[in-house]
Chains A and B, each alone.
Chain A
Amino acid sequence: MITKDAEAPTVTSAPRTVLEAFGPRRPKKRQRSWDEVPRRQIYLPLGVYLVFTLIPFYWIALFALRPAGSTSLVPWPVTFEHFDKVWTERSFGTYFQNSVLIGVATLVMTTVVALAGGYALARFDFRLKRGFMLALLCSQFVPGALLLVPLFEIFANLEMINSLGSVIIAETVFQLPLSMILIGNFIKNVPPSLEEAAWVDGCSRFRAFCVVVLPLLRPGLIAVGSFAFVHSWNHFLFALMFLSDQGKQTIPVGLNTLMSADSVDLGALAAGGIVAAVPVVIVFAFIQKWLITGFSAGAVKG
C-alpha cells in the first residue's frame, strides 16, 4: 500500500511504502550459480541415488553372469551359459524378433494415425470437439484387462487370433489417445501462418504439412514413437492372450515362462531380463535429448 502525505513539504523525506517505514531494505541475497556450488554437494547425493538405483541392475547382471549355484557377490568366473540357454533353448531369439516387429509396427502405426488425428484436433473446429477430447482422456483410465474378452471376440471374428497383427492393432489402439493429444499440442505450437504461406506458394495442405509442419515436430514424434515402442515392448497381457503359437510369442511372455509354478531358473531369468532391457536402454540412450524436449514441450499447452 502506498502512503502519501499531501501536507508534507518534501515527498522524498516520507516513507513511500509500508515496508520502507520499517527501515532500510536488507540487501538481497545473491543466488549462487551452479558453477559456484561445491562439487561434493552435487555429486554426493547423485552418487548415493545412483548406487541405490543400480543395485538391482547389478543383482540381475550378477545372476546372469555367474555360474548356476554360485553364491559369489561378483560375477567371476564369468559365464554366458544363461544367455546361451535363453537365446537358443528357450527361443528368446524368436521372441526378440517378434517383439521388435510388434514394437516397430506399433510405433509406425501409432505415429502415423496420431499425426492425422492430432492435426485434426489442433487445426480444425468441429462439433463435440471438447467431448471427443474428454473421451480420449477418459479412455486412458480403462485397464486393458477389462477389454480383453471383447477384444478377443473381435479378433476371433476377424480370424486374427494367433496373428501378430492382433497385438499390433490392440497396442496401437491403446496408445492412440495419449499420442493424439500429445501430437495435437505440438501442432498447436506451430504457427498456422507458416502453413498458409506455403499454400500461397502453391502447396497443397498435405504438402504444406509434410514440408513445413512435420520437420518442426521431430521432438514430439520421437517422444510419441518411443513411448509407443517401449510400451508395446514391455506389454505382456495382449501377447499372452492373443497369441498361442510358440513361434509368435514375445519377450515378456518368454520371461514369464522361465518361472514355473514351483521352480524358477534365476540365472536364465536374469539373462532374459537383460536381453529384454538392452534394446530399450540403447534406444533411450540415443533419443533421450529429444525425448525430454518432446515431453516437456508437449506438456505446456493444453
Chain B
Amino acid sequence: MFSTRSTRSSRRRPTAGLALTAALALTATACGDDGSGSGGDKGAEGSGTGRITFWDNNGGVRTDIWKEIIADFEKKNPDIKVKYVSIPAESVQSKYDTAIQGGGLPDVGGVGAAMLAGIAAQGALEPLDKRLDGGPLAEKLSSSMVENVRAAGGGKELFTVPTSANNGTLWYRTDLFEAAGLDAPTTWPKFYEAAEKLTDKDDNKFGYTIRGGEGSIAQALDATYGQSGIASFWDGDKTTVNDPKNVEALEKYVALYKKSTPSADVNNDFKKMVAQWDSGDIGMLSHNLGSYQDHLKALGEGKFRGLPNPTTATGTRVQLSNPVDGLGLFKSSKKKAAAWKFIEYAASHEANSKWNESAGAIPSNTEAAKDKWVQDSEPTRLAAEALNDGDVKIVQLPYYLPDWNTISKADNEPNFQKVLLGRMSAKDFLDTLAEQLNEAQAEWKKRQQ
C-alpha cells in the first residue's frame, strides 16, 4: 500500500492547482443575482424607474405577445425596463415556492387563482386595493373577476389584478355532427345522444374524449354540477359534491368511458386529450378556450365549434368557476412604483385586449371585452356571454383553501381513474372528496377566526 504522507513539494502541486482552479471557477461564475428578495422582505417603493423583473406564469406559447406588450410599455415609459422571464406553466408553483423560501422573487409575477391562496398565505404578495382604487383601472375591471381573485386570496384583500378568465368549453366537430344528422350539443341529453351516435369502435371513431389523467377532477365536477343543476359548492359548512344528485350525474358521465370514449383516456391529460381530438375522429372534447388556436391549426376554420357547457333539459346552465389569471406585485420588490405601472399597463384596454385576443381568453378590462375581436371569435363571445348572463349559475370552487390543489390533484386524481376503471364507485369517490373538503374548510375557517 502506498504511503499516505509525502513531503515532496511536487506532490502538493496538483492539489494546490486543483484548489486554485476551483476557486477561480467559483469566482468567474459569480455573476450576481437579480437584486430581488425572498418572501419575508418588505421591499421598497423605489423611484418609479429602473429595471423590473416579470415572471410569466404561462411562459412559452404566450412569450411573443408578452414581449410585444413589454415593448409597447417601454416605449411609453422609457425610464422603466422590464426583464421578461418565461416560466413553464407546470413548474411555476415550485419556482415561486423556492423563491419565497430562498429569495429571488420577481417584482411582478403572473399568479393564477388556483395557486393564489398558497402564495398569499406565505405573505409574499402586496395587497393591491389601495393602489387600484386610486388609479385608472378603478372602474374598468370586470367586477366578477375581481371578486373571484379576492375570494381566491382569502376574501379580504386583493392580491392580484385580474387579466383574463377562461371558461369551460365543449368543442365539437361540426362536420361529424352534420354527417350524422345531429343537433349541436347544447343540452346534456343531446350531448349523450351525440356521444353514442358518433361512436363506431370498429372504425376507431368515438363520440367523446374524457379526461382521466392530470386535471381530471375539475372537468368531472363541471359535468357533474352541470347535469345535477346544484348551483353552490357549499351547503353551510358541508360541501355539496356528494349530494345524491351529483352522484347520479357522475355515474352517468363516467359510464361514457370505453362506451363512447377511447380506453386510453384513463391517462389523458389536456395535452393528450387535445392532440387526439385534433388528429382523430372524435366528436366532442371538453376543455377551455385556451386550446382554440390548436384546434384552428389542426382542423381549420368551419370544422368545429366551441360552446359553453350544455344546459340541463330544462335550460338551466350551471358551470364551475374557472381560475382567473392575474398579475401580482411581490412584497419583496424594491421598485414597487415601477412594477405597479407595468401592472396597470398590462391590464389596460390596449394591452389586455391584445393579450386576450392572442390567447382567445375573456378580457378582464371591460372596455377590452367590447372589442370587435371578441364579437368575431364565437367561442370567446359565447363564453363571455355565458359568464355575464344572469341566468347562468356559477359554482365557485374553493380556490382559497390552501389544500385545494392537493385535494383536487394528488389526492383524488388516482381515485377518479379507479372510478373510470370500475374499481371504485362514484359515490365512494365523491364521499372521500367531500370528507377531505369539509376538513380543509373547517381548518381554514378556524384559521380565519
Contact = CB atoms under 8 A, between A and B. Distances in A.
A262 B299 contact: no
Contacts of A17: none
Interface in B8-66: 8, 10-11, 13-15, 18, 25-26, 28-34, 53, 55, 58-64
Contacts of B33: 156, 159-162
B59 A264 contact: no
A256 B88 contact: yes
B84 A263 contact: no
A266 interface: yes
Interface in B375-399: none
B6 interface: yes
Interface residues of A, number: 52
A50 to B, nearest CB: 24
A257 B297 contact: no
Given A109-B25, A257-B60, A240 B4 contact: no
Contacts of B62: 260
Contacts, number: 167
Interface string B105-119: 010000010000000
Residue among B18, B32, B60 having the largest count of chain A Cβ atoms under 10 Å: B60
B290 interface: yes
Nearest to B14: A206
Contacts of A217: none
Contacts of B448: none
Interface in B296-331: 297-300
Contacts of A22: none
B390 to A, nearest CB: 27
Given A257-B88, A260-B61, A165 B25 contact: yes
B163 interface: no
A266 B102 contact: no
A164 B29 contact: yes
Interface in A133-175: 145, 148-149, 152-153, 156, 158-166, 168-169
Contacts of A162: 31-34, 104
Contacts of A124: 1-2, 4
B10 A244 contact: no
B11 A152 contact: no
A79 interface: no
Nearest to B3: A124
A295 B88 CA distance: 36
Contacts of B15: 116
Nearest to B298: A69
B18 A206 contact: no
B242 interface: no
Nearest to A265: B61
A148 B293 CA distance: 36
A62 B190 CA distance: 36
A158 B291 CA distance: 43
A204 B85 contact: no
B77 interface: no
Interface in B62-118: 62-64, 83-91, 94-95, 98-99, 101-104, 106, 112
B60 A123 contact: no
Contact of A149 (B28, B60, B90, B101): B101
A11 interface: no
Given A262-B270, A264-B274, A89 B31 contact: no
B8 A161 contact: no
Given A205-B11, A263-B291, A160 B31 contact: yes
A126 B288 CA distance: 64
Residue among A113, A159, A163, A244 having the largest count of chain B Cβ atoms under 10 Å: A244
Contacts of B26: 158, 165, 169
A241 interface: yes
A152 B104 contact: yes
A69 B293 CA distance: 11
B64 A89 contact: yes
Interface residues of B, number: 67
Nearest to B59: A257
A245 B53 CA distance: 10
A112 B88 contact: no
Given A126-B4, A165-B30, A165-B31, A260 B11 contact: no
B89 A192 contact: no
Contacts of A71: 279-280, 298
A261 interface: yes
Contacts of B18: 112-113, 116
A17 to B, nearest CB: 47
B37 to A, nearest CB: 10
Contact of B297 (A69, A160, A161, A165): A69
A89 B18 CA distance: 41
A259 B271 contact: yes
B103 A152 contact: yes
Contact of A258 (B58, B60, B104): B60
Interface in A66-104: 68-69, 71, 89-90
B299 to A, nearest CB: 7
B31 A259 contact: no
A125 B2 CA distance: 8
A246 B60 contact: no
Contacts of A266: 275
A159 B32 contact: yes
A206 B10 contact: yes
A165 B60 contact: no
A241 B96 CA distance: 9
A150 B150 CA distance: 33
Given A89-B64, A206-B11, A261 B298 contact: no
Nearest to A157: B103
A223 interface: no
B175 interface: no
A253 interface: yes
Contacts of B83: 245
Contacts of B270: 262, 264
Q: Which 10 A-B pairs have the closest CB atoms?
A: A165-B29, A262-B290, A257-B60, A152-B102, A256-B88, A163-B31, A261-B89, A260-B61, A161-B33, A204-B10
24 contacts: A68-B297, A69-B298, A71-B280, A124-B4, A149-B102, A153-B102, A156-B33, A156-B103, A159-B32, A161-B33, A163-B32, A165-B28, A165-B29, A195-B2, A240-B95, A241-B95, A241-B98, A244-B85, A244-B106, A259-B90, A259-B271, A260-B89, A264-B294, A266-B275
Given A145-B94, A259-B60, 5 more contacts: A153-B103, A260-B58, A264-B271, A264-B294, A265-B294
